[in-house]
Structure 1
Amino acid sequence: MRDIHSDVENSGTAAEFARRFRDIHSDPKFTRLVTSRNRLVSFLLLVIFAGYFAFLAMVCWYPSMVAMPLYDGAGVTVGVAAELVLFIVFLAISAIYVSFANGKFDALLSSILTQGKGTR
């Protein structure tokens, strides 16, 4: 992975840096990158909020259900099991985002930066 600070230091003047910034910002690939990243983040955030608030609603409105054992004789309650499921879902969401960021988003950003260097 490249160090962006060395790119800035090697780019020359502030005017050159500003021109490169405008070129990258106006690139349709950059717009597509930002749009798809924001869409993915919004969807994943919606899933996180829905899961978290569903769990809170269950705790607030059905505390007796949350306190029930998962099965007869179990030491684990429904609430603990639900929280464990939420933890696993949140971990999976993090893995999904990292997968997209390291795969699709980094490749697109690299092509944008490479194209920007070619126009110097």
Structure 2
Amino acid sequence: MSTQQTPNAQSCDRIRSNPKFQDLARQRAVLAWSLSAVVLGVYYLFIMLVAFVPGWLHLPLYEGSNLTRGIPLGAAIIILSWLLTAWYVRSANTRFDRLSAQILEEAQA
């Protein structure tokens, strides 16, 4: 077997050894794990409310209201998830794409 690498393998090795690539991978991982932790924490807290103080969720939003506290709380959780997803997409389409383009340019040179 030959120990020579193909040009594609050499390019991949140059990219992996690039400090900018390592920084990009670290930034993406930190952001993804942080946002995941926030979402999981919020959902976990909601489930804890359902489990331990369900009566609080059944209380009306205000005096004379047919809307309970649980409805806007559930909607807020869904909206928070959308906003965090939008934050990740925006980061991926701006900062991460810019870094990726720089890394690819350097790998081609």
Question: Which TM-score bucket, shorter chain as reference?
Answer: over 0.9
Q: Tell me the matched-pair count.
A: 105
For residues 44 and 29 of structure 1, what CA distance do their matches in structure 2 show?
22
Indicate the residue corresponding to 1:108 in structure 2.
99
TM-score (normalised: structure 2): 0.92
CA RMSD across the alignment: 1.0
Percent sequence identity is 30
C-alpha displacement of 1:75:
2.2
- Find the residue that maps to 2:6 and give its secondary structure: helix
In structure 1, the gaps of 5 or more residues are 1-13
C-alpha displacement of 1:78:
0.9
In structure 2, the gaps of 5 or more residues are none
Indicate the residue corresponding to 1:40 in structure 2.
31
1:36-76: CA deviation from partner (whole Å, max 9, x where unpaired): 11011111011101100000000000010111111122222
Does the alignment pair 1:79 with 2:70?
A: yes
Does the alignment pair 1:94 with 2:85?
A: yes
TM-score (normalised: structure 1): 0.84
For residues 25 and 74 of structure 1, what CA distance do their matches in structure 2 show?
59
Indicate the residue corresponding to 1:69 in structure 2.
60
C-alpha displacement of 1:111:
0.5
- Find the residue that maps to 2:62 and give its secondary structure: coil
C-alpha displacement of 1:88:
1.1
